Amino acid sequence: MEKVLIIGANGATGRIVATQLKDSSNYIPIAMIRNEDQRGYFEELGVQTRIGDLEGDISDCFEAVDKVVFVAGSGSSTGKDKTEKVDKEGAEKSIDLAKEYEIKKYVMLSARGTEDPDPESKMLFYLAAKSEADEYLKKSGVPYAIVRAGALTDDEGNGKIKAAYKLEGEGQIPRADVAKTLIASLDRDYGTGLTFEIVSGEEDIQNAIEHLRQV
């Protein structure tokens, strides 16, 4: 069983990742949380926790960890400075540690639109920060998968997505299906080195990733 550190575990998507990983026969989830107040939820869930803040020292969180899922985000209500500290600098710090600790696979949750951010977008500074973090991961030498999701919803997932290196048009996707895609991407030999976009669709998640590898 491989230990997976979930960075951003206390967020809406992070909690779903932790819940899904808890029932996995291949992985043991470890939730990285910012403070003690967040520990109770995961203890009740039966998931290990480690205290770490992306704006501080998080090196202890990487001890005896095999893989990483990054689902952290500064949130839509924060300003440019906070976004850069979490979504860019915090992500880059975790990537450096992943390299130092020889992490087998780093799976990054990103967003559609980061590859070529719209200068008129209200989320420009967020997309720009995510774009820089994505590029940093690509150049790090750490085995990775970057999953750029469409607009996230709290709808019930069905395990079906549409995936491509670049999708046309807009699209949404339930957080549950995003979490399943991130977990499917954890396999060391499955989707390594891939950067792809996802929205809700008609194809089984693992098949969708497999088809991307064959393109």
Q: What are phi and psi of 199, to 5 degrees?
A: -140, 175
Task: Tell me the pLDDT tens digit for each residue of 86-118.
Answer: 888 989 999 999 999 999 999 999 999 887 766
pTM of the model: 0.93
Assigned token pair, 212 = 């991307």
The CATH class given to the 2-214 domain equals alpha beta
Percentages (nearest 5) of helix, strand, coil residues in the chain: 40, 25, 35
Query: Can you tell me the mean pLDDT for 10-14?
Result: 95
Mean pLDDT of 199-207: 94
H or E element: which one contains 67? strand 67-70
- Give yes or no: 126 in active site: yes
Return all residues near 11 (Cβ < 8 A) that are at least 6 apart: 71, 72, 73
Q: What is the pLDDT of residue 215?
A: 46
Segments making up each domain of the chain, as ranges? 2-214
Residue tagged active-site, from 27, 101, 126, 144? 126
